[in-house]
Amino acid sequence: MEAASARNHEGYDTTSYAVPGRLPLYTDLLFTAPAAGTYTCILKVNAYTSLLGNPHLTVKAGSTWLESDDSDRAGAHWWQNPDCASNATTGTCTYVGAAPAQPDAWVFYNDGTVRHKWEAHPDAVTVSAQANLGLTTCYDETGSCPQNMWGPPKGPGAVVDTRFELVQLDTTGHACRTHQHQISRTVGDNAHHTTGYYALNNITIEPSCGTRTFLMRIYVKHVSGQRVKIDGAQRNGLTPLTSGIAFNNF
């Protein structure tokens, strides 16, 4: 099992990163062992490019790490949206923006994902959730989007409003308490692939709702600029670029 995060590097002198020239990437993974045994976890870094010369990626010592929790996260659940190949030729990709795209979308909810109602563990004191959302701009002639989604030549980028939600349901299956992490994101055409990170920590399980059942979803609304593709699982579903985790806190 694997998960990934991706973004095109915008140059050694870029000022849009926390440290100029250093592109921060994070990814999360919930691993469920298929059988008892010993497993190896790997942090793999790849530099994909068609540029001439010898461009390369340097992993910075002291600021690159693989962190794991080997305790049993009883009842934790993993979400990922449908397959969506990098070149958009296979799978079911979701697009937001001007027609023929849709103006907005709910990831993990109305994008072809099977809606999962997650039950918090009976002994959990609180719950937490986190998600990674992969977004890609569809500028003119990009290989990441079909031609009918292409916009103007590279340059304008896109702006989207996003909202990560963990919704506790009532006994009728409707929303009782909604917890959210909301942020407006700019997706530059140079970055092209941009990953947004979200977290909701130590959410109280409200007894008055009558259930310990939750829904996870991410709302994405196009505001301006290029159409945007919501990256899905690639390599026949093996490598999700958009994913989420919910887990219990005891």
Mean pLDDT of the chain: 92
pLDDT of residue 207 exceeding 80, the answer is yes
pLDDT score, position 183: 97
pLDDT tens per residue across span 74-117: 999 999 999 998 888 888 899 999 999 999 999 999 999 989 99
- Report, as an integer, the average pLDDT of 141-164: 96
The predicted structure's pLDDT at residue 144:
94
Predicted TM-score (pTM) of the model is 0.92
- CB proximity list for 54: less than 8 A, separation 6 or greater: none
Q: Give residue-wise pLDDT tens across range 9-62.
A: 888 888 878 888 888 889 999 998 899 999 998 888 887 777 778 777 788 888
Residue 10 is predicted with a pLDDT of 84
pLDDT > 70: percent of the chain: 99
Instruction: Say if strands 228-230 and 126-137 run parallel, antiparallel, or are unpaired.
Output: antiparallel
Compute the distance between CA of residue 112 and CA of residue 81 in angstroms, rounded to an integer.
7
**pLDDT in the model for residue 134:** 96
Q: How many CB atoms lie within 10 A of CB 69?
A: 7
Q: How many CA atoms lie within 13 Å of 184's alpha carbon, on the beta-carbon side?
A: 5
Per-residue pLDDT, 89: 86
β-strand 213-225 against 228-230: which pairing, if any? Answer: unpaired
Q: Judge if the upstream peptide bond of residue 20 is cis by omega within 30 degrees of 0.
A: no
| CA pair distance 120, 83, nearest whole angstrom | 27
Average pLDDT score over residue span 161-171 = 98
pLDDT of residue 146: 95
What pLDDT score was predicted for residue 242? 96
C-beta separation of 169 from 195 below 8 A? no
pLDDT at 238 over 90: no
Q: E strands of 123-239, at which residues?
A: 126-137, 158-169, 175-187, 193-204, 213-225, 228-230
Give the model's pLDDT for residue 61. Answer: 86
pLDDT (0 to 100) of residue 6: 86
Q: Quote the pLDDT of residue 72.
A: 86
Least confident residue range of 31-35, 52-56, 145-149, 181-185: 52-56
Domains annotated on the chain, with CATH: 77-249 (2.60.120)
- Does the pLDDT of residue 180 top 80, yes or no? yes
Helix and strand numbers, DSSP H then E, in the chain: 0, 11
Determine the pLDDT at residue 125: 95
The tokens describing 65, both together, are: 């790490």
Residue range 217-228: mean pLDDT, rounded: 98
